[in-house]
Chain A
Amino acid sequence: MLAYTIRRIIILVPVLWAVATITFILMHAVPGGPLTPEKDRPPALQEALERRYGLDQPLWRQYTTYLTNLLQGDLGITFKGDREVTDVIRDKFFVTAQVGILGFVLAISVGMTLGTLSALNHNGPLDYIGVFFATAAASVPNFILGAFLTIILAVNLGWLDIVGWGGPNTWSELFDPAAYDWRKMLLPVIAISVLPASFFARVTRASVLEVLNQDYIRTARAKGLAERKVVWGHTIKNALIPVLTLTGPIFAVMISGSFIVETMFFIPGLGAESIKAIVARDYGMIMGTTLFFAFVVAIANLAVDLLYAVADPRIRYS
């Protein structure tokens, strides 16, 4: 398993290199650059700016410089405010991760509860409600749900706030209850969790149904085991494994969700920042965020695969 893990990590290197190269090419194919002036700018000033950010070098040299620096963990600086890209990613991802983790927890608890209830109540009214929810939640875009919740809960009822993020902005505030403002946290977390929750609900339902039809469950029932024990002891545990495989793709879905949800609720996270970076042609940030997201998804998928092996003894990686 260790060898497998190491091999997976080694494979990651060429993938990230390819992501970096493709992003670099696409980014430079976009017309205009981070220094394209909005007003006419004296040529000397323009040249000075380009020199300062190394944009006066030929493209291939910018590319090799970038890769060399990348190997040393240096992602360069942003054009917006001359900050280290690594610092910006660290600060912004701290917020994105909070939204993501809270949303994930909400999604998995709501989704699995609904899915299990649906399956145990197969073809009953609870099942129909569950399936309908799962389908509807997969169909109503998060920004539309967010818009409706905003009108009702924030604008009309005034219960919740909508601008900014209510969680801590720095690590040091993480354990400070005063740094949390749930009125600002609820709407984005709900908005980002709805789609993943619907996936969890569907897969849990299918998985529990399948387990319930397995021979060993029939055996357990036949030998007179209490239904509660059958359900909790045998069914749920075994049904969990397919759900686990879902968490990797869900990660990707949630990162996609973060772009829209963060933009809409003005959350200072990495998703909103990376969209701003593309619009502003902030080369350093475009490269940094794309690589970072690719890396996060790859690591998440690896972690899920390893967990999968731990959970299901039949699976062996070599």
Chain B
Amino acid sequence: MSTRSKWFLLPMAALTAGLIFAAACGGDDDDEGGDTTPGATSEATSGSGGGQAPADQQKIRIAQPEPQFLDPQKSNFEQDIGLERFLFRGLYNLTDDGEGGVEVVAMMADGEPVVTTEGETAVYTVKIRADAEWSDGVPVTAANFVYGLTRACDPDIASPYQYLLGAGLGDLVGCDALAQNTDPAQADALKAALGAKAIDDKTLELTLAKEIPTFKTIFALWTTFPARQDVIEEHADAWTLPENIVTNGPFTLSEFAVGDHLTLVPNASFVGTAPVLQEIYVQFVDDLSAAFRAFQNDEELQMTEVLATDVAVAESSGLSDNVLVVPSARITTIEAQMTDPVLSNFGVRLAISQVIDRQALVDSVFDGVHAPAYYWVVEGLVGHQGNEAFEGVIGYAPDKAAQTLADAGFPDGEGIPTLRWTARDNEQKRNEFAFVQAALAEIGIEIEAEFVDAATRSTMFNAEDFQLFPGGWQLDYPDIENPLVGLFNTDGGNNKYNCSDPDVDAAFEAAFTATSEEARIAAYQEVEKNIVEKLCGIIPLYQDARPFVVSTSIGGVVANGTIDAGLPGNYAPENWFVKAD
């Protein structure tokens, strides 16, 4: 056990309630979403009302993008990870606590882990449920978890979320060494040295570099799901095909038509709540406007994400009962390069912030689905301070903006060269640019757009090759430290806009050495106050939300934005059901 006091881990564990799958960005760190109030589930879809229809009517059809992999250790994108929770489950499971928050409960694990510490190192011993079985009737064993974790760290698998088990997060002993190994001769020795051992069939021993408050959360994530060595070795990459796959989650895969759809049916061997639905037909759709049209048009389709601009159409065409807007733990911001000679001037950044009418931006480009934000720590997190705290400092103030810019030494924008705006190329980003361009023109600042594809955009960001960069931060896990640490400290790895401020660094230091939860939160709030009020590399615009349409005939869909991945309430599809007429 570390020198940090133990009692402090308990509330922290509760806080760190679940990694959002969304880091798994659906290919898009820049995704559009919709609205506002956390927990704003529409009445039509909250699970309570109405009984269940008979079993032969328990079939639904939903739409989402085609998954890339159904292999938990290989998955990168939201559309994969969302579906993997239908098919597989880990030691623990993230679930809704009934109050809009997140609870971590035992799934394949039999109760709480037993922790012993030797110096810094922590050994977690976890019992596997005796009755846990795969869909082919074979028992779920500790060896399945060892194999899954070995794959997660194996450089030949190249798991995109290996870092969840790496230093600073999961801290699984030997994982980083294995992942960074380039010598095939060393591979077996490194795999053997991994801190995951099967003591017997039902006893798993995990060795972590130190005790972590997030143990159960991490071991509820897809990257740590168990894997069947015999099945994977027999079928290699084809192991996730319907004829080969074995699952330990509520559903199993009965059909996969490439490019078109897949079908899920219940897994009778699942140890958790038996699913009500007898068939889920997942139609692959990439384009949200087409998906919405299909929902309107096709009575068979019962659930899909939609474009923000289609929410108004849904509401005006008698579908308002079907609209479900789920808040997203993401702030969209303008990232401003602090090493730029002009943008390093606080007055310029403040003038930009003062001249952009966030409400008008959200109302026009996104039909009011997102919510204006003058803060950085999202609504719903402990420590969130909200618009009230900062709007007075950096808020929309059209009458002050010109003066601010003049005071900064650039009256009417004279002396400011045309600034570059680097964005992804899609409809909403184009409109967002047009809006900001028009706003900045009012105070004489000219910007020109450079629209690029997602990969180029992130390459440019990582190379710090930008001036103004519409981006944002999607939480990896719901804790106030996540959107701050590494993003704003002077030497932070994600601090590509070069925010470097002594007050910010001092506040970070206070947070790192805090001895109480209150002090830690307060220190991070001080960080947020400093970065927002000084616009240190960021000019916050809005908090995203994601709109869905869900048929009123489906019950049990309880959206929990922080743990949903791509579809509302899909962390617990076993609770979905078709209502009785």
Taking beta carbons and an 8 Å cutoff, which residues of A are in contact with B? 31-33, 36-42, 44-45, 47-49, 51-52, 77, 80-83, 88, 91-92, 95, 150, 154-155, 158, 161-165, 169-170, 266, 268-269, 273, 279, 281
Contact residues, B53-74 vs A (CB, 8 A): 63, 67-69, 74
In the complex, how many angstroms separate the beta carbon of B575 from the nearest chain A beta carbon? 27
Of chain A, the residue at the smallest CB distance from B69 is: A81
Residues of chain A contacted by B5 (CB below 8 angstroms): none
Contact B453 A155 (CB under 8 A): no
Given A163-B294, A169-B257; A48-B158 close (CB under 8 Å): yes
| Residue B456 CB within 8 A of the other chain | yes
Given A48-B155, A52-B158; A268-B259 close (CB under 8 Å): yes
Contact B68 A81 (CB under 8 A): yes
* Residue picked from B25, B284, B290, most chain A C-beta under 10 Å: B290
Contact B237 A37 (CB under 8 A): no
Given A32-B456, A49-B158, A52-B158; A92-B259 close (CB under 8 Å): yes
Contact A268 B284 (CB under 8 A): yes
In the complex, how many angstroms separate the beta carbon of A41 from the nearest chain B beta carbon? 7
Residues of chain A contacted by B68 (CB below 8 angstroms): 80-81
Which residue of B23, B179, B455 contacts A45 across the interface (Cβ within 8 Å)?
Answer: B179
Residues of chain B contacted by A158 (CB below 8 angstroms): 297
Question: How far, in angstroms, from A45 to B74 measured CA to CA in the complex?
Answer: 12
Of chain B, the residue at the smallest CB distance from A84 is: B237
Contact A39 B297 (CB under 8 A): no
Contact A52 B156 (CB under 8 A): yes
Residues of chain A contacted by B493 (CB below 8 angstroms): 40
Interface string of B282-319 (1 = CB under 8 A from A): 01111100110110111000000000000000000000
In the complex, how many angstroms separate the beta carbon of B426 from the nearest chain A beta carbon? 12
Of chain B, the residue at the smallest CB distance from A95 is: B259
Question: How far, in angstroms, from A121 to B55 measured CA to CA in the complex?
Answer: 64
Given A36-B455, A40-B494, A45-B158; A155-B293 close (CB under 8 Å): yes
Given A40-B462, A41-B160; A161-B297 close (CB under 8 Å): yes
Contact A51 B155 (CB under 8 A): yes
Question: How far, in angstroms, from A32 to B461 measured CA to CA in the complex?
Answer: 13
Question: How far, in angstroms, from A31 to B166 measured CA to CA in the complex?
Answer: 30
Contact B458 A163 (CB under 8 A): no
| Residue B163 CB within 8 A of the other chain | yes
Contact B179 A44 (CB under 8 A): yes
Of chain A, the residue at the smallest CB distance from B294 is: A163
Contact A48 B179 (CB under 8 A): yes
* Residue picked from B23, B28, B158, B259, most chain A C-beta under 10 Å: B259
Contact residues, B375-420 vs A (CB, 8 A): none
Which residue of B290, B293, B296, B458 contacts A39 across the interface (Cβ within 8 Å)?
Answer: B458
In the complex, how many angstroms separate the beta carbon of B475 from the nearest chain A beta carbon? 13
Of chain B, the residue at the smallest CB distance from A49 is: B158
Contact residues, B517-534 vs A (CB, 8 A): none
Residues of chain B contacted by A266 (CB below 8 angstroms): 285-287, 290
Given A38-B455, A82-B237, A266-B287; A162-B259 close (CB under 8 Å): no
Contact A268 B260 (CB under 8 A): yes
In the complex, how many angstroms separate the beta carbon of B289 from the nearest chain A beta carbon? 10
Contact residues, B161-198 vs A (CB, 8 A): 162-163, 166, 179-180, 182
Of chain B, the residue at the smallest CB distance from A78 is: B68
Residues of chain A contacted by B274 (CB below 8 angstroms): none
In the complex, how many angstroms separate the beta carbon of A275 from the nearest chain B beta carbon? 11
Question: How far, in angstroms, from A169 to B261 measured CA to CA in the complex?
Answer: 10
| Residue B271 CB within 8 A of the other chain | no
Residues of chain B contacted by A281 (CB below 8 angstroms): 455
Residues of chain A contacted by B456 (CB below 8 angstroms): 31-32, 36
Residues of chain A contacted by B283 (CB below 8 angstroms): 163-164
Which residue of A44, A164, A273 contacts B180 across the interface (Cβ within 8 Å)?
Answer: A44
Interface string of B234-261 (1 = CB under 8 A from A): 0001000000000000000000011110
Given A163-B298, A169-B260, A281-B455; A48-B156 close (CB under 8 Å): yes
Of chain A, the residue at the smallest CB distance from B67 is: A81
Residues of chain A contacted by B259 (CB below 8 angstroms): 91-92, 95, 268-269, 273
Query: In terms of DSSP, what is the predominant structure of the interface of chain A?
Result: loop
In the complex, how many angstroms separate the beta carbon of B530 from the nearest chain A beta carbon? 24
Given A91-B258, A92-B259; A38-B158 close (CB under 8 Å): no
Which residue of B155, B179, B297, B455 contacts A32 across the interface (Cβ within 8 Å)?
Answer: B455
Of chain B, the residue at the smallest CB distance from A281 is: B455
With A38-B28, A163-B294, A273-B259 given, name 6 new contacts (CB 8 A): A40-B494, A77-B237, A88-B258, A163-B283, A163-B291, A164-B283
Given A81-B68, A164-B260, A279-B453; A44-B293 close (CB under 8 Å): no
Question: How far, in angstroms, from A150 to B459 measured CA to CA in the complex?
Answer: 39
Residues of chain B contacted by A163 (CB below 8 angstroms): 63, 283, 285, 290-291, 293-294, 298
Question: How far, in angstroms, from A17 to B504 measured CA to CA in the complex?
Answer: 59
Question: How far, in angstroms, from A150 to B287 measured CA to CA in the complex?
Answer: 15
Residues of chain B contacted by A150 (CB below 8 angstroms): 293
In the complex, how many angstroms separate the beta carbon of A54 from the nearest chain B beta carbon? 13
Residues of chain A contacted by B260 (CB below 8 angstroms): 164-165, 169, 268
Contact A162 B455 (CB under 8 A): no
| Residue B29 CB within 8 A of the other chain | yes
Contact B459 A32 (CB under 8 A): yes
Question: How far, in angstroms, from A83 to B69 measured CA to CA in the complex?
Answer: 10
* Residue picked from B166, B258, B291, B459, most chain A C-beta under 10 Å: B258
* Residue picked from A37, A44, A52, A273, most chain B C-beta under 10 Å: A44
Contact B258 A83 (CB under 8 A): yes
Closest 8 CB pairs of A and B: A268-B259, A48-B155, A44-B180, A36-B455, A163-B294, A48-B158, A32-B455, A49-B158
Question: How far, in angstroms, from A92 to B76 measured CA to CA in the complex?
Answer: 24
Of chain B, the residue at the smallest CB distance from A38 is: B458
Contact A154 B293 (CB under 8 A): yes
Question: How far, in angstroms, from A8 to B387 measured CA to CA in the complex?
Answer: 72
Question: How far, in angstroms, from A170 to B284 measured CA to CA in the complex?
Answer: 16
In the complex, how many angstroms separate the beta carbon of A80 from the nearest chain B beta carbon? 5
Contact A37 B453 (CB under 8 A): no
Question: How far, in angstroms, from A38 to B258 measured CA to CA in the complex?
Answer: 25
Contact B290 A161 (CB under 8 A): no
22 contacts between A and B (CB under 8 A): A32-B456, A33-B455, A38-B454, A38-B455, A42-B180, A44-B155, A45-B155, A45-B160, A45-B162, A47-B155, A47-B182, A48-B156, A48-B179, A49-B158, A77-B237, A82-B74, A83-B258, A91-B259, A158-B297, A162-B297, A170-B257, A269-B259
